[in-house]
Structure 1
């Protein structure tokens, strides 16, 4: 097995060579053999910084993470946006420091060439991991048919080519599980399986040298950041409270103020335009205010550009937006998809009610509902709510409350300044991916028929909520 650090170093080296190959090729295409000396000197003086900034951008966009079982489309998005930002950085340096000036034609040409070269390198990496992992046969183990249907839906929705669903088995049918296990390569366990049964299933799966994909319970997420310690000869895990230290809060607040003010200045033309256009296209105010719950349960007024008809919940009461929701206006579809409706929350960040990164704020009505079903939901209030967060980057608008909570807790227990920056950069990917902003989907789709066929489950069993 290859050494991961050596493999990563090789990819970084190839990326660095590709970056400079793109610039050198662009110079020769533009000037042939008549390269001006001042441009050559400018390139030599900025080469190191171009390398450093490029590698940092690639890191923030997860190009150096494990791409096994991730989408190729996601990879292309990451490469395109990171190379585009690198091009913007080069233009900015060229504009502000005239002695480092590059011709714009060279910057544009190098951007196109770098997109191709970096794309080829990381496509090769992706396909290498695809060949290494192959297409695995999945056995789903859950509580009942609805459990199996939910997980199968995730697997089918996942990036094509990594998995093929073979069967669903209820956790209590051990003879069938042991028989099906021999035909499977990967076992996915539902979080609804009783703990004792889960331990038994894991034991048999490990004995058969099969891979296990486990949906973690809340307490298991706390262990991700646990520190191994020892009391006398007894090993223990130290799990720290779900809150940020004074230094972390100070650093986060400084970043929030600096970046939100800068973003507010840059976004002001767009915000002014939306402030004028929204009332012209739909009766009512451009700004929508709503009470949300923040740090420690404190109430505050969140600001958004209105994307729905005025008084959208006057007759329905508090309800989540669904896919194809008739309450969303024409311009509302656009600003929700591009996340422009969230821009006024920069004022909430400056005021201190919110942070740029954190769990999304929710209404008290929904928090009370979620707490009844998921007692751990209140842990989200240990940090300030954010404009974006790990759940928004990794999930979708329609991602379940339970899975969003898992991401939020992973964020809280793994917080760092760099982690916040990575989430901010990756939010750009969310903006260009329309499926991320789709509302909660209603049941009864054609996909459900496919899932029922894959799992050999009748619609009557699902409707009745029967156990398999």
Structure 2
């Protein structure tokens, strides 16, 4: 019943989007011609009306505007609508050229696009605010194994879009029996990933009985169960969990798409590549193209190509280190290239060579992979597919997101791969490029929020300990 209700809401939302988008065309025609609209000008629009409506649905779907936007950022939402409407405009103009519908005034299309950004942005913002009023300002109780893990989880809530979460406190997992006393005070319980299975099951069961929402950070093994197939052995229900890899049919489709798109992009971006090559050579000594060893599918080594964004021999003194938010090794033009991701254009050559894919987990150096595998044994799962220029972690997380948190997105991508998912990630990468904050390096600043949380959680933890005694 709940699934049918959700489908109905999404269907009505799609109708609303298409209706508003086409209404903007009507207003644009009236603005351009007043009430005396020549039929020769409006006739191409009437012919294209079904296609424009389909373009609207496809663009909004590919930009993930029909997913659950509960607790997401309004800024992110408006950015995405802007890009989706632009895509509709490009598809519409392309169809008018192909169909020789030159009597469809370009001024009408451009003004309608401007109106669509305003109207659709306003309608979705209104729905977003209604959602935040209904689901926002939830008091969150964080449950973790240590105070440090609790602070880390609470920081995620505080860094999230404002108005959704209010941190109520922290409860150590060993004091979970006190959870039932705290339930009346909170709306949501956030459970960390390091709790053992028994503790986690007990907390989830209690939250369900009390009618409270529980947010669980999944373990890697739980992510591997996604898309698992229920099977029956005699009278026993089992889940068939396959290794994270692409089946031959999906692999072939992905490879063909990689070759076609990377070839087209290299031709299209060749003037940009030439300009960047010259600028790098003129502004800092050293080669313009930077080559570095990475590990790809199956742990195989290859050389990745990038435009050099740091001073030459940047790690000659420090050894392998991750870039920070204000890294002095980054050149002025390198800072701009990294923010816009233009330094990664030469990786299209790696895609053509078959060493990388357009979409996949980001490639990492052997030095760091060895470190990560020591602390995160499941890290090897991300090497089961080709690394990508962009990926789910790059779209949904930040450059400075912790390795284990990015790994969850990488495993989710491998287990949920589809051709449509790749298209969605590629389109949403445009938004990430425009929203430069996601490209910032690993932060080395002391966050004031952390000190507030330590004070709050320190008191809360002492109070729980005292109650326990």
Give the structure-1-normalised TM-score. Answer: 0.95
Following superposition, which runs of at least 4 residues in structure 1 exceed 6 angstroms of deviation? none
SS at match of 1:209: coil
Residue-pair matches, total:
458
Query: Equivalent of 1:309, from 308, 311, 314?
Result: 311
- Which digits, 9 at most, give the CA deviation of each residue in 1:201-252, with x for residues without a partner? 2222222221110000011001111111112211111111211111011000
> Which range moves more in the overlay, 4-13 or 125-134?
125-134
Match of 2:261 among 259, 269, 275: 259
Query: Does the 8 Å CA contact 2:361/2:387 hold for their aligned counterparts?
Result: yes
> How far 1:30 moved relative to its partner?
1.1
Matching residue within 203, 209, 212 for 1:210: 212
In the other structure, the counterpart of 2:126 is 124
Distance change (3 Å), C-alpha of 1:274 and 1:200: same
Pick one of 138, 141, 149 that aligns with 2:140.
138
C-alpha contact 1:322 1:441 (8 A) present in aligned 2:
yes
Contact persistence 2:140–2:169 (CA under 8 A): yes
Partner of 2:95: 93
Match of 1:14 among 1, 8, 16: 16
The question of whether the paired residues in 2 share the 8 Å contact of 1:292 and 1:302 is answered with yes
Q: Name structure 2 gaps, 5 residues minimum.
A: 461-469
Distance in 1 separating the partners of 2:57 and 2:176: 50
Moved more, 30-39 or 340-349: 30-39
Which residue in the other structure is 2:467 paired with? none
- Indicate which of 163, 166, 169 corresponds to 2:168: 166
CA distance in 2, matches of 1:447, 1:246: 48
Counterpart for residue 28 of structure 1: 30
Q: Normalising to structure 2: TM-score of the pair?
A: 0.94
How far residue 99 of structure 1 moved from its aligned partner, in angstroms, is: 2.9
Contact kept, 8 Å, 2:392 with 2:413, in 1: the verdict is yes
Q: 1:175 to 1:197 in 2, by over 3 A?
A: closer
Aligned to 2:400: 398
Is the CA contact (8 Å cut-off) linking 2:359 and 2:391 kept in structure 1? yes
| Residue 360 of structure 1: aligned partner | 362
Aligned to 1:383: 385
CA contact (8 A) 2:395 2:428 kept: yes
Question: Which runs of 5 or more residues in structure 1 are unaligned?
Answer: 459-468
Once the 2 structures are TM-superposed, how far is the Cα of residue 90 of structure 1 from its aligned partner? Answer: 2.5
Equivalent in the alignment of 2:72: 70
Shift of 1:150: 0.5
Q: CA deviation at 1:38?
A: 2.6
**Contact 2:325–2:443, Cα closer than 8 Å, also in 1:** yes
Farther off after superposition, 418-427 or 46-55: 46-55
Conserved 8 A contact 2:71-2:136 = no
